[in-house]
Structure 1
């Protein structure tokens, strides 16, 4: 038994204490949605002398508009009814609660209740009736605003951090199945709690949360849904929340350096905040070396620009300061950071590039130095394979004017002395044999395998060659020394 029924019975009992008689308790009016089922709460009392006649077999009768017999629309003891209904309460317990199913416009009217029991218990309650009205569309639910547990006007501003409760109530136009209430919002849902309850005629839902700037100008909608047999019918109401909060400077605030320095400061606050620029801690305004402009993006968002000459950025600090009735905020701009961002220069990249450049220059210098050293060396080279040697004189001319002469090491000196003494001019030749010193006559083949190539320019006389003069006696001495050393007589090849 719900609370409403307890109240009705209590009132009947209370009346019976003073004057126990035939009394009934009915709602004065019931409004139902077309196609729904409606419950009529009903409780009655009788004179005490008839209590013994009230049994489980008692009958309940409903009249429409008057109490004439012809206007009976429902009798619990009959199977033929003008309307589809059912007495769900127990008449022995003096509970006459009744359900009217699938109501429509034919159900509109006043209804009277009659009780029929055993013996002489027959009574029609003509003094009290219930009016039933049927509507085609549901009423919009009612939404109310509570701030810190106090009811507020729907357009009242709410301070950030306040406890907010939105209450939605709708009439129970359909008793079965019951109506439902749902919430929706145009902003991101804050953390909230939901409470629901239902009394005799209303369904109530409470949405509780803490106000934040995200809910400013957000619209909260409460929707009631009635489930019918063929389709659902809905209705809704909404409330727009107005949140006040201290200003906050956006993280997008920054500076950009080109020919001049331009700083941007964007702030959000409600009421709309004021904004000032400070250089070295002092407020500034438009002048010949700086300019300030503002742009209002919305009722709460303000954007301001300041343009500065570069001379100011070397000696001044720039700060954005904003205030409104609920607080203030400030932001200091860092020049080094903005200089790097505006020019796109990365210090580490510059250092690495410089190091690589120095390394490339050093390698290039080293290569140049090596080639320069090689170029200064004389073209005199000695190549040997085993005991063979090649000698190039630094008096050689062009390749096509040269003549190559191959002679045995032992015969070279003699041939040069006797035939071409000038071919050894300005040359120093050491024919030290790398063979073993104890070689005998059998080593002639190894000795004769050593050759030297002497380049002799054609058509050049001794007088034009320059250098030292040829000494025949010295050459003869050298030839005789080599013969004595080797122990092998000179043989021309």
Structure 2
């Protein structure tokens, strides 16, 4: 196109000597916006009335320009050290179909489509910076291309050019694709389903609900497909199911489902999904996670007593919502008084509660102490006989009691004594 003046087709040129009809002498190429234009060999300029020119250009666009187009994604993410696939199709005016042969070449400009030095890929020349291949068939107007060994320098805006037999030599400048190079894959998406219905990830679920945790991610180009794996903070045994499918944008995504029935053992457990790409020179990973909140009936995890001159007992319970703890001495409710002290402690986990009671009073052989815990989903209760013989003490129970009561020893002024067994 160097040395030629571009004028729109179908007009006449006024020369000093003669009128030259463009239909007789021209070369065709694609203009800067994909329009078919004419290069006049004599370098002539138009000398026509402006209103006729505007009308003609309007008609020209409707007849000619719509035949030249290209379809490209607006943006693609490429993983450094991997590959990138650009899905690409184009159309040309049907009068040029005969020039589009099997020997046609596809090229890609990077950033500046007006500079020939910015051609970074040519399907007929392997000595250019980007290595790859056109996987589509150019004769069928499929310019889908794959580039290999992507580096950080390969990011930018790409324009496609087709070169067939003369005069088919056109750069599609109206559309481009932006390639962004990333060091790590994007974090996968984690969703939660209860009884096959999607719910918010922070929503609490009831114990015995049928649960599905879904991890998904759009796949990036790589020599081997990525993998999705699940793990958990409590190292639970996980039964996962992975698959590949097309999303609504016709892009391949990988999905892994984790199916289970919710129990209190999973309350507060964090489930982590990791996507892994095995590249030639490194492993690239990304993660996302979800913490499960399960509502369940209260349960008593520890009930222990120690007795010398003062009886000190501990009742530890958990549940979601956090339970309330009540004490009963021989069937009668107990509260703070001159002879009784009750202290409650909520641990770092809001669903775990400890309640300590100290009894500064005489007890009989028949006295019992009962711990009752309550929340909105149920009640739990355990009872022990307070007056016990030394034979009923066990070493393991004494060790547990020593550890949990240490911080309260000064307050209650107690030493470890007998550990009374619970009624079953």
Provide the TM-score with structure 1 as the length reference: 0.56
Determine the C-alpha separation between the residues in 1 that align with 2:126 and 2:339: 99
Unaligned runs of 5+ in 1: 1-18, 345-493
Contact 2:263-2:294 within 8 A present in 1 as well: yes
Verify: 1:269 aligned to 2:319, yes or no.
yes
1:329 Cα deviation after fit? 1.5
SS at match of 1:272: coil
Verify: 1:302 aligned to 2:353, yes or no.
yes
Determine the C-alpha separation between the residues in 2 that align with 1:323 and 1:277: 12
Aligned match of 1:208: 259
Q: Equivalent of 1:187, from 219, 222, 234?
A: 234
Determine the C-alpha separation between the residues in 1 that align with 2:314 and 2:157: 73
1:202 Cα deviation after fit? 5.1
1:186 Cα deviation after fit? 0.8
RMSD: 3.5
Tell which structure's C-alpha radius of gyration is larger: 1
Determine the C-alpha separation between the residues in 1 that align with 2:216 and 2:282: 22
1:217 Cα deviation after fit? 2.6
The Cα offsets for residues 133-160 of structure 1, whole Å up to 9 and x where unpaired, read as 2234444444344444455444433333
What does residue range 346-425 of structure 1 map to in structure 2 within 5 Å?
none
Aligned match of 1:83: 130
SS at match of 1:321: strand
Aligned match of 1:232: 283
Q: Equivalent of 1:248, from 291, 295, 299?
A: 299
The Cα offsets for residues 173-221 of structure 1, whole Å up to 9 and x where unpaired, read as 4433333332222113254433343542754444333332222332222
Verify: 1:24 aligned to 2:75, yes or no.
no
1:80 Cα deviation after fit? 2.8
Unaligned runs of 5+ in 2: 1-64, 395-424
SS at match of 2:265: helix
Verify: 1:38 aligned to 2:84, yes or no.
yes
1:305 Cα deviation after fit? 4.1
Q: Which has the higher contact order (CA 8 A, sep 6+)?
A: 2
Aligned match of 2:156: 109
CA gap 1:225/1:195 in 2 versus in 1, 3 angstroms: closer
Matched residue count: 323
SS at match of 1:82: coil
Determine the C-alpha separation between the residues in 1 that align with 2:324 and 2:309: 29
SS at match of 1:83: coil
Following TM superposition, where does structure 1 have runs of at least 4 consecutive aligned residues deviating by more than 6 angstroms?
none
Aligned match of 1:440: none
1:123 Cα deviation after fit? 3.8
Determine the C-alpha separation between the residues in 1 that align with 2:208 and 2:96: 64
Aligned match of 2:404: none
1:67 Cα deviation after fit? 4.7
Verify: 1:284 aligned to 2:330, yes or no.
no
SS at match of 2:67: coil
1:236 Cα deviation after fit? 2.5
Verify: 1:62 aligned to 2:112, yes or no.
no
Verify: 1:331 aligned to 2:356, yes or no.
no
The Cα offsets for residues 51-105 of structure 1, whole Å up to 9 and x where unpaired, read as 5554443332222231544432222223332321211122344322111111223
Task: Identify the structure with the greater helix proportion.
Answer: 1
Verify: 1:126 aligned to 2:173, yes or no.
yes
Contact 2:160-2:172 within 8 A present in 1 as well: yes
Contact 1:258-1:342 within 8 A present in 2 as well: no
CA gap 1:302/1:312 in 2 versus in 1, 3 angstroms: farther
Contact 1:277-1:284 within 8 A present in 2 as well: yes
Determine the C-alpha separation between the residues in 1 that align with 2:374 and 2:280: 59
CA gap 1:305/1:131 in 2 versus in 1, 3 angstroms: closer
The Cα offsets for residues 422-458 of structure 1, whole Å up to 9 and x where unpaired, read as xxxxxxxxxxxxxxxxxxxxxxxxxxxxxxxxxxxxx
Determine the C-alpha separation between the residues in 1 that align with 2:226 and 2:244: 12
Determine the C-alpha separation between the residues in 2 that align with 1:253 and 1:228: 55
Aligned match of 1:321: 372
The Cα offsets for residues 281-319 of structure 1, whole Å up to 9 and x where unpaired, read as 4422245665544444443222334456564542x5543
SS at match of 1:103: coil
Determine the C-alpha separation between the residues in 2 that align with 1:185 and 1:343: 38
1:222 Cα deviation after fit? 2.5
1:248 Cα deviation after fit? 0.5
Contact 1:224-1:234 within 8 A present in 2 as well: yes
Determine the C-alpha separation between the residues in 1 that align with 2:261 and 2:287: 23
CA gap 1:263/1:69 in 2 versus in 1, 3 angstroms: closer
